[in-house]
Amino acid sequence: MTISLTTLAGERAELSPEDLQAFKAGFRGPVLAPGDPAYDDTRQIWNAMIDRRPGLIVRCTGSVDVLQAMRFARQHRLLLSVRGGGHHIAGLAVCDGGLMIDLSPMRGVWVDAAQRIAHAQAGCTLADVDRETQQHGLAAVLGFVSQTGIAGLTVGGGFGYLTRRHGWTCDNLVSMEVVTADAQLVRASADENADLFWALRGGSGNFGIVTSFEYRLHPVGPEILGGAIAWHGDDTLQVLDAYREFSARAPRELTSVAVLRTAPPAPWLPKAVHGQPIAAIFVCHTGAIDAGEALLAPLRALGQPVADIVTRRPYTQMQALLDATQPKGRRYYWKSHYLPQVSRPLAETVAAHARRAVSPHSAILLFQIGGALNELPLAHSPAGNRDAAYVLNIAGSWEKPQDDAANMAWARECFEATRAHSTGGTYVNFLTEDDGAERVDAAYGADNLARLAALKRRFDPDNVFRHTKSVLR
């Protein structure tokens, strides 16, 4: 059977059965065409708003498969997309008509506990890495939802409960193995291909396909003090006032996330509040347990919480605490800003918009990230944004296509109403499909963007990695 694929020029390339057979002979993983039983499952990613149909999906089992896929793409000048964990909200992992290079079967992790280093293949989820590193009481700086892919998260920056202590995820990279646009397998580190290493620490998918990451690890847990405290939505302003004071004074071992939303039917929340507005604060203290207990006591004593599940728990459990709120297959639309602080006027604005959320699954989140990342110079990596102290994410989440417009309008209105409180920066990994050049510019700032654009012309002159948030201007 002849396979028709979209090329970089937007034309159709007809691949003969012989072309396909020649490729398959050098490729170890499954190769899926439309109509194959596993094709639909594999093209579907976390955000159900994305419904694209690649011409061919190649499921890589290792670096050589990625290399072979890249050679094949070059040979036929194919449009391509790269899938790590498939969690980018804009659906960058899946292209229409082209070649989807899927790294999600590549989930090996090797830990060198003595050197405090982990090597992780690029298809890993955060949970895969935490599982292996926590066996040694170590952790990489990763994100807040354990099913997210490490690849997109790391090459876009990355923040989570350890960011206040150790900076962006990409600030903690030692090296990467990369398949380049000209189909070479290279290592990128501070000493080897240093420009490529710089570009891949925030420049997202524009510069190559990372096949594995080498992370610097830090002692964490395995038991930490963490969980969440929730109050009724009527108390939101009081809770956000307390959050402002509490988070500003908190040592870096303590990270907190404020969440405004409708209470889901979660077992940790009493039935009486299900469906009611709540304000919750998720906390994770990775220092000594008794120090954490003392630090958290005033917050836990605030007003009349409707639930409090702060306790000693495995760090891996903490890392998965928000998972149930972000299932694969719902419709999602986000807007976000970096913030220098959580001011009273900002709190009033987000509290009012949280009340007006169209869907019970939607939430407004404030992630505390200030600390180590602020101490590095802006030019350290394209992840930049060294003035950010919090991330505001207005996270629309709903089920039916007919509700798209109302939910997207809600997120956009809250975004515009909070714009004046932003640092002006934003996170490239939270940009939706309709966030264009202006928001990418905001994610990088003029100097880092100019350097990225120059490096893009050098490392990817044909713009092979174009199914991403473009840094070319």
**Binding-site ranges for ligand FAD (CB under 6 A):** 46, 81-89, 92-93, 103, 122, 143-145, 148-149, 151-153, 155-160, 204-205, 209-210, 326, 429, 467-468
Residue (of 277, 285, 241) closest to 260 by Cα position: 277
CB of 62 to ligand FAD, least distance (A): 13
CB of 201 to ligand FAD, least distance (A): 11
Nearer to ligand FAD, 103 or 372 (CB): 103
Nearer to ligand FAD, 151 or 411 (CB): 151
CB of 92 to ligand FAD, least distance (A): 3
What are 367's two structure tokens? 């992630």
CB of 348 to ligand FAD, least distance (A): 26
Nearer to ligand FAD, 93 or 196 (CB): 93
**How many CB atoms neighbour CB 325 within 10 A?**
17
| Alpha helix (H) residue ranges in 357-460 | 404-418, 437-444, 446-459
**What are the E-state strand segments in 134-270?**
138-139, 173-179, 185-189, 209-216, 218-219, 223-232, 254-262
Length of the chain: 473
Round to the nearest angstrom and report the end-to-end CA distance of the chain. 40
Amino acid (1-letter code) at residue 110: W
Nearer to ligand FAD, 211 or 448 (CB): 211
Query: Rg of the chain over CA atoms, in angstroms?
Result: 22
CB of 330 to ligand FAD, least distance (A): 10
CB of 96 to ligand FAD, least distance (A): 13
**How many CB atoms neighbour CB 288 within 10 A?**
11
CB of 158 to ligand FAD, least distance (A): 4
CB of 178 to ligand FAD, least distance (A): 7
CB of 99 to ligand FAD, least distance (A): 13
Nearer to ligand FAD, 289 or 324 (CB): 324
Nearer to ligand FAD, 160 or 305 (CB): 160
Report d(CA 452, CA 462) in Å as an integer.
Answer: 15
CB of 75 to ligand FAD, least distance (A): 20
**How many CB atoms neighbour CB 130 within 10 A?**
28
**How many CB atoms neighbour CB 116 within 10 A?**
16
Report d(CA 258, CA 366) in Å as an integer.
Answer: 5
CB of 305 to ligand FAD, least distance (A): 24
Give the strands of the sheet with 173-179, arranged side by side: 109-112, 117-121, 209-216, 173-179, 185-189
**The pairing of beta strand 109-112 with beta strand 117-121:** antiparallel
Report d(CA 205, CA 203) in Å as an integer.
Answer: 7
Nearer to ligand FAD, 81 or 426 (CB): 81
Residue (of 359, 388, 386) closest to 375 by Cα position: 386
**How many CB atoms neighbour CB 183 within 10 A?**
18
Nearer to ligand FAD, 120 or 310 (CB): 120
- Supply the angle between the helices 236-249 and 344-355 in degrees, to the nearest 10: 140
Query: Which residue number places its CB atom closest to ligand FAD?
Result: 205
3-state secondary structure of 147: coil
Q: Classify residue 458 by burial, with Cβ atoms within 10 Å: 0-12, 13-18, 19+.
A: exposed
Give percent helix, percent strand, percent coil of the chain, each to the nearest 5.
35, 25, 40
